[in-house]
Amino acid sequence: MLFITDAMIDAAIGAEDVQAVLADAFRSFARGDAAIQERVRSTAQGVKLSMMGGVIPGQGVAGAKVYTTIDGAFSFVIVLFSTVTGAPLATLEANAITRLRTAATSVIAARHLARPESRTLAVFGAGVQGQAHAVQFAAAFPLSEVLLCSQRRDPALAAGIEAAAGVPTRLVGAKEAVASADIIVTASRSKTTLFPGGAIRPGTFIAAVGSSLPTTRELDDLALARASLIAVEYRAQSLKEAGDLVQAAPGVAPVEKIVELGDLVAGRASGRTDGKAITVFKSVGIGLADIAVAGLAWRRIAGG
């Protein structure tokens, strides 16, 4: 059984590889050929242990991601098994996988929900996920500018994203970002909404990825109410974990407006049909995505 490090994963796979294997996993789930194990959390004296997983026979793998959260910092490990023999294949450090799969899932959603000609990306949050999203969106869309909103207000943060994404990046306030953006990514640690939903421009796509707790949210009720469609990875998990949805007032996010990403990828649901529509992807992170990317990494490294 292999032990695969974050450095090995970054050397073996790239964003396009990850997007392709994730799209296949979401299609399999939509067809009923894959399964998702919902997240379970346990907490004692400030230490949180979480676990979630997936079974993807079409990719030959099943497994679980286990991680700790201490003082807001995460450490991730994946245990990967063969769906043919049941044997353990590898244990993997999964910080790189989490970074890659979260942004890749947002890009997959954007390909169905964002305007293809989108040129301005606003990113709320300058952490690992903020930068990862800027890099992957810059490769997927014809971006001419990234607008960064960060509480730290450090010009070096914008310079770092500009160097990584290859797109001019500048620090701005929330008002300017929302007023200018074609695509908005919220990858913050905020416990309360980041901007008024009434300020969102028609035609905007929003990927809200910063919160997976029912007690926190990044989007307000008006943002959700104005959205023509809200995509989620897995309805059962999202309706428990996504504070944006859990805290929404009755009627703001009716069930008929919520679609699973797998149905979009599989062509079972329509994405953007109107250039002026506001569309939302609310991500909480699912084990299916982690296991798909872990399987890809294992195949590349074990076969290499």
Is residue 103 in some structural domain?
A: no
Question: Residue 304's pLDDT is what?
Answer: 61
CA distance 190 to 187: 9
Note whether 203 and 297 are same-domain residues. no
Note whether 178 and 209 are same-domain residues. yes
Note whether 38 and 16 are same-domain residues. yes
Is residue 222 in some structural domain?
A: yes
Q: Which residues contact 26 (CB under 8 A, 6 or more apart)?
A: 108, 233, 261, 262, 265, 266, 288
Is residue 248 in some structural domain?
A: yes
CA distance 221 to 269: 24
Note whether 245 and 297 are same-domain residues. no
Note whether 177 and 253 are same-domain residues. yes
CATH assignment at residue 185: 3.40.50.720
Q: Which residues contact 142 (CB under 8 A, 6 or more apart)?
A: 117, 118, 119
Structure tokens at 6: 């974050």
Note whether 259 and 292 are same-domain residues. no
Residue 73's domain comprises: 2-98+287-303
Question: Residue 153's pLDDT is what?
Answer: 86
pLDDT tens for the chain, 304 residues: list them. Answer: 899 999 999 999 999 999 999 999 999 999 999 999 999 999 999 999 999 999 999 999 999 999 999 998 999 999 999 999 999 999 999 999 999 999 999 999 999 999 999 999 999 999 999 999 999 999 999 999 999 999 888 999 999 999 999 999 999 999 999 999 999 999 998 999 999 999 999 999 999 999 899 999 999 999 999 999 999 999 999 999 999 999 999 999 999 999 999 999 999 999 999 999 999 999 999 999 999 999 999 999 998 6
Q: For the chain, how many structural domains are there in total? A: 2
Note whether 85 and 47 are same-domain residues. yes
CA distance 12 to 208: 28
For the chain, counts of helices (H) and of strands (E): 11, 14
Note whether 153 and 248 are same-domain residues. yes
Question: Residue 111's pLDDT is what?
Answer: 98
Question: Residue 188's pLDDT is what?
Answer: 95
Is residue 105 in some structural domain?
A: no
Is residue 104 in some structural domain?
A: no
Measured CA to CA in angstroms, residue 192 lies from 212, 243, 249 at distances of 13, 10, 15
Note whether 131 and 46 are same-domain residues. no
Note whether 210 and 271 are same-domain residues. yes
Beta carbons within 10 angstroms of residue 138's beta carbon: 20
Note whether 147 and 264 are same-domain residues. yes
Question: Residue 252's pLDDT is what?
Answer: 96
Note whether 156 and 170 are same-domain residues. yes
Question: Residue 189's pLDDT is what?
Answer: 87
Is residue 188 in some structural domain?
A: yes
Strand positions, DSSP E, 5-60? 35-44, 47-56
CA distance 297 to 282: 26
CA distance 200 to 207: 13
CA distance 213 to 72: 13
